[in-house]
Amino acid sequence: MNFSKMHGLSNDFVIIENITQNVHLDSEKIQVLSNRYTGIGFDQLLFVEKSFQSGIDFNYRIFNADGKEVEQCGNGARCFAHFLYLKGFTKNKKILVSTKKGILVLSILKNKLIKVNMGKPDFKPCNIPILTKKFKKKYSLLIKEKKIYFGAVSMGNPHCVISVKNINTTLVNSLSPLIQKNKFFPNSVNVGFMEIINSKKIKLRVYERGSKETKSCGSGACAAVAIGIKQNLLLDRVTVELIGGKLEIFWKKEDGYIYMVGPAEHVYDGVIHL
């Protein structure tokens, strides 16, 4: 199996193209490959496939390190676009790809920067999904006898975002699994912890479904900004500072779409015998 290792702000991926080769991996094999000591190591595995829809260039599939297929990955989308252009699968600088949850528009800019139209944030409870019928700007849960307030949104995948005073002292790795297991989130959830610096800048840590805390999360950055704007805490263009680096997120009121701009890096190509 030929593969490429890539990363977007240290959120790392293995990309497998299934256009010139035919690779099928079950959940167990993906878990083996994701192991950083005995496998290749990655946060997510991405498959490049031929499009099965008219007007769409490629199909984009995403698997977490635990082997489960998921709907969305923003950092992965940037790496996906960089891979396609770098390897000569397309000469277009605007690429349309289909995902499990819809269509993404990827635009290749200068200096290895990629812009992704991440779609429209969906706050409707049944679409996130969360177990409530009425939308609220802030929901609450009792976790370890402490009430936690958060916003919730779907960016093609479910996110909850908690505002904190200091992300460095927040118990991200102990709180997040308890939140993810809560029945309020029937499909689990990506948990974001947002520290607002000002109305144009935030710091963010994200504990992802199936991958634990990652150094960067593109869909999580979009979710945090969308929720911050919805709660009247942020402006429509925000710099998001993650552990791995910075993303620029903006939400266009004219069309309702949220956009992400950030880098993508090719690390190396490899071959592994399965």
User: Which phi and psi angles does 86 have, rounded to 5°?
Assistant: -65, -40
Distance CA 262, CA 134 (A): 34
Q: Which of 79, 160, 217, 222 is catalytic?
A: 217
User: Left (φ > 0), alpha (ψ -120 to 50) or beta: where does 20 sit?
Assistant: alpha
Q: Round to whole Å and give the CA distance between 210 and 180.
A: 10
Which residue shows structure tokens 């620029």? 248
Q: State yes or no: is 222 an active-site residue.
A: no
Report d(CA 157, CA 148) in Å as an integer.
21
Told to judge if 160 belongs to the known catalytic residues of this protein, a careful annotator would answer no
Collect all residues with Cβ–Cβ distance below 8 Å to 129 and sequence separation of at least 6: 154, 158, 185, 186, 187
| Catalytic residue of the set 73, 79, 160, 222 | 73
List, by residue number, the catalytic residues.
73, 217
